[in-house]
Structure 1
Amino acid sequence: MTLPRALDLGVTGERRRDDPGVVEALDAVVRDLVRREGVDPQRDSGVVRRIAERVVRDHDERSLTGMVAPVVDTESLVGELVARVAGFGVLQEFLDDPSVEEIWINDPSRVFVARQGRHELTNLVLTAAEVDELVERMLKSSGRRLDVSSPFVDAMLPQGHRLHVVLDGISRGFTAVNIRKFVLRAARLDDLVGLGSLSPRAATFLDASVRAGLNILIAGSTQAGKTTLLNCLAAAIPGGERIVSAEEVFELRFNHPDWVAMQTRQSGLEGNGEVRLRDLVKESLRMRPSRMIVGEVRAEECLDLLLALNAGLPGMCTLHANSAREALVKMCTLPLLAGENISARFVVPTVAASVDLVVHLGLDQHGVRRVNEIVSVPGRVENDIIEAEPIFVRHEHELRRTAGMPPRTERYERIGIDVHRLLNDGR
């Protein structure tokens, strides 16, 4: 292969491995070859790597003549070129690091990452142009857009990571970027037991509750592990049932033979075509579901979910809340956003009759995600307050059984489970 003259960089002294002139020139060569060979860099990253290896190898051979600068670490250079062309540049290192859970950019000189629930400032310094170029590249594969008329965006990266961007002008000074990585550490409830998030008895009880068809609300703060727990609970749904899920962006990952997953959509350039989460909840009822899963309830879609659950359709969802009690209060508040004709007199008893269990998660002082309480909702309301009975409550490092019992015990009996024995004897 004959390389372009752009690589004939005159050398008066030894260059460092990360010399920007060398990297930029090789980057241009790789991009040119990718275009010429008709390669989709994000879909065919393996092909991009082979091209980069070829380019670096040829460059290394030419460096023996003194015509171009030598490369000390060819493997590192190949990795950087692949990250630039097929990945997400300087952020690719953090995206590939399994210990990094989240990445965010407050401004080009302040790039943070989170590990084990704790965040740290990196030494990475970008330019505003580099941030804009990274955002444009990330959105390219998502089909979503970011402009003055739509200054916020939620999107999914090819690896399954969730991207959120706030455009400069809404955020002060610079475009703000947040990437929440999809790190699958637990696929089933037993995995959460192994991680110390859940006790064996509580895991067995939740597994039985899912199979019995109870409605489960998962609550917690940001990054408390709500989606992970929802994935694990969904994995316990019997294979003969049909699942329909609705999310803002695809985050659920579990194996099931009969599952339809839907996500929201932004409006187009003409201002139409938007698909809201509430639309998806309504649409899912027309798809003959045996179970409904809503990734996260934030607004008026809560009313439509409650109506579905109240009609006998088993379901699960997540919600931001600081405790199980606050989660119930929020479930009673969000439906009021659906319209002035929706009153608390209707909503409160509907929530009490529709939600069976509330599971609250939190982060401890060491950044470990744990289930803090599992609460039963027996369906009774006193003075507009929904009664709740704790079934499991965390005391320091132990999730302890309390005196509470779940509602609808006949559903457990229907599938051959003695829930009293399960909870009191652990069997």
Structure 2
Amino acid sequence: MGGRHRGAWALRSGHGAHGRSGRGERVPVSLDVYEELRREALAKIDGTGLDPVAQPEAVRELLESTVDEYQRRAHLGEGRSLADPRATVERLVESVTGNGPLARLLRRADVEEIFVEGDQVTYLEAGGALRACEVPVTEQENRHVISQLIAATDRRLDASNPIAQARVLDGAARLTVVIPPVSDHLSATIRRYALRRQSLESLISLGSLTQAAATFLEAAMRASASVLVSGPPGAGKTSFLSALMAAAPTDHCIRACEEVRELHVPLVHGSYYEARPPSLDGTGEISLRDLVKVTLAMRPDMIVVGEVRGAEAFELTRAANAG
């Protein structure tokens, strides 16, 4: 990754990153140096048993000490000193206790999706523009952040289970991740859920739906008609389905089944159900098909299945044929 050794963030120095390495020279931190500091800090945290979430101040002190030690070694000629050690500390804190290089993107309300491919991070803005992250990162740090997100859920990600989907960030986003040996490198997508509550009226105001179409769909919901929503990724299927659910009569019992929950329409009468992967010993799996079967036995007025991609299609088709 030698070609990517630019300043890892906004650090200023009178020397270029490839200037002389004289004693005490102050240069923007390279990815190699930053990764060295990050790994050293993580090893110290593991060794001391500190919890980055429960003990953030203690972790910050440890990170400050790690950077200070590096600076002292650099001043003795064992490397090049950092131009802005405080900025280095802040990024390390964000990496260890937060969401690292993804944190800034996750704080932005206009970012809809984040794509991670190895050491590359791109994101999709609300207007549809695809941008590249300006901050150079390493695949190791990206994987650490993704692993932390997964660790906060009931899902697991390792060589024996290299594909995972989970609700993350307190249910505000869906994470889909694939790691080796299934993929060549870390491959992940974080999809942010729309914060605005959708309705047929809101889709009309956005120009996504005509008044005539909305009237027809509202009548279909009142009649408990079967509706199939299909389209390519990013077409707005989840938003449209949310609007349809919001248009259903409030006295209808709605049971919604999803592999990873994305729908958040308030239900007066009904519930949401989420599939569960098997545990480490291979037991305890609850598939989407299992959920569809059990909700059929509960005699709902309406069953909503978030995504039909597997065996659940059989149960859903059988239910539709039976009325």
CA–CA distance in structure 1, aligned partners of residues 308 and 102 of structure 2: 30
Residue 310 in structure 1 maps to residue 283 in structure 2:
no
Q: Give the SS at the match of 2:248.
A: coil
- Partners of 2:218 and 2:89 lie apart in 1 by 48
User: How many angstroms apart in 2 are the aligned matches of 1:186 and 1:199?
Assistant: 19
Per-residue deviation, 1:297:
0.6
| 1:299 alignment partner, SS class | coil
2:180 is the alignment partner of 1:168:
yes
Q: Following the alignment from structure 2 to structure 1, what is the Cα–Cα distance between the partners of residues 96 and 219?
A: 48
Supply the distance in 1 between the matched residues of 2:94 and 2:85 (Cα, whole angstroms). 19
CA contact (8 A) 1:105 1:111 kept: yes
Contact 1:104/1:178 (8 A) holds in 2: yes
Matched ranges for 1:35-50 at <5 A: 40=53
For 1:288 and 1:205, the matched residues in 2 are separated by: 25
Give the Cα separation in 1 of the matches to 2:130 and 2:138: 22
Determine whether 1:202 maps to 2:213: yes
Work out which of the residue numbers 259, 265, 270 in structure 2 matches 1:254: 265
1:104 aligned onto 2:115 = yes
Confirm or deny that 1:154 pairs with 2:154: no
How far residue 167 of structure 1 moved from its aligned partner, in angstroms, is 1.2
Work out whether residues 117 and 223 of structure 1, in 8 Å CA contact, stay in contact via their aligned partners in 2. no
* Residue 17 to residue 121, structure 1, CA distance change in 2 (3 Å): closer
Tell me the CA shift for residue 280 of structure 1: 1.0
Offset at 1:171?
1.0
Report Cα offsets for 1:265-286 as digits up to 9, x if no partner. 2222222322221111101112
Change beyond 3 A, Cα 1:295–1:82: farther
Structure 2 unaligned runs (5+)? 1-23, 66-81
Distance 2:312 2:209 in 1: 30
- CA pair 20-86 structure 1, distance change in 2 beyond 3 A: same
Equivalent residues in 2 for 1:176-325, closer than 5 Å: 176-312=187-323
Q: Which runs of 5+ in 1 are unaligned?
A: 1-11, 42-46, 60-68, 313-427
Q: Please state whether the residue corresponding to 2:143 is helix, strand or coil.
A: helix
Give the count of matched residue pairs.
282
Structure having the higher strand fraction is 1
Quick one: distance in 1 between partners of 2:93 and 2:205? 36
> What is the deviation of 1:97?
1.3
Name the CA distance, whole Å, in 2 between partners of 1:292 and 1:253. Answer: 15
SS at the partner of 1:98?
coil
8 Å Cα contact 2:118/2:187 also seen in 1 = yes
The CA RMSD measured in Å over matched residues stands at: 3.9
Matches of 1:14 and 1:39, distance apart in 2: 30
Residue type matched to 1:262 in 2? Answer: Y
CA-to-aligned-CA distance 1:237-273 (integer Å, 9 cap, x gap): 2222221111110100111122311112222222232
TM-score by length of 1: 0.56
Q: Return closer, same or farther for 1:134/1:39 CA change in 2, 3 Å cut-off.
A: closer
Distance in structure 1 (CA, Å) of the matches to 2:211 and 2:318: 33
Q: Is the 8 A contact 1:168 1:176 kept in 2?
A: no
C-alpha change, 1:235 and 1:82, in structure 2 (3 Å) is farther
**What SS does the aligned partner of 1:219 have?**
coil
- Share of identical aligned residues, percent? 34
- Alignment partners' CA distance in 1, 2:211 and 2:320: 28
Q: What secondary structure is seen at the aligned counterpart in 2 of 1:164?
A: strand
8 Å CA contact 1:186, 1:192 repeated in 2: no
| 1:144–1:155 CA contact under 8 A, matched in 2 | yes
Do 1:166 and 1:177's aligned partners in 2 also have CA atoms closer than 8 Å?
yes
Deviation per CA, 1:277-299: give whole Å up to 9, x if none. Answer: 11111011122322110001112
Correspondent of 2:142 among 113, 131, 134: 131
**Pair 260,73 (structure 1): closer, same or farther in 2 beyond 3 Å:** same
Q: Distance in 2 between matches of 1:271 and 1:221?
A: 33
Letter in 2 for 1:253: H
Does structure 2 retain, via aligned residues, the 8 Å contact 1:277–1:301? yes
Structure 1 residues 176-207: Cα deviation after superposition (integer angstroms, max 9, x where no partner): 11111112345211111122211222223222
**What CA distance in whole angstroms lies between the structure 2 residues aligned with 1:121 and 1:194?**
31
Deviations 1:316-356 (A, max 9, x none): xxxxxxxxxxxxxxxxxxxxxxxxxxxxxxxxxxxxxxxxx
Runs of at least 4 residues off by over 4 Å: 12-21, 38-41, 69-74
| Counterparts in 2 of 1:73 and 1:147: CA distance versus 1, 3 Å | closer
Aligned to 1:140: 151
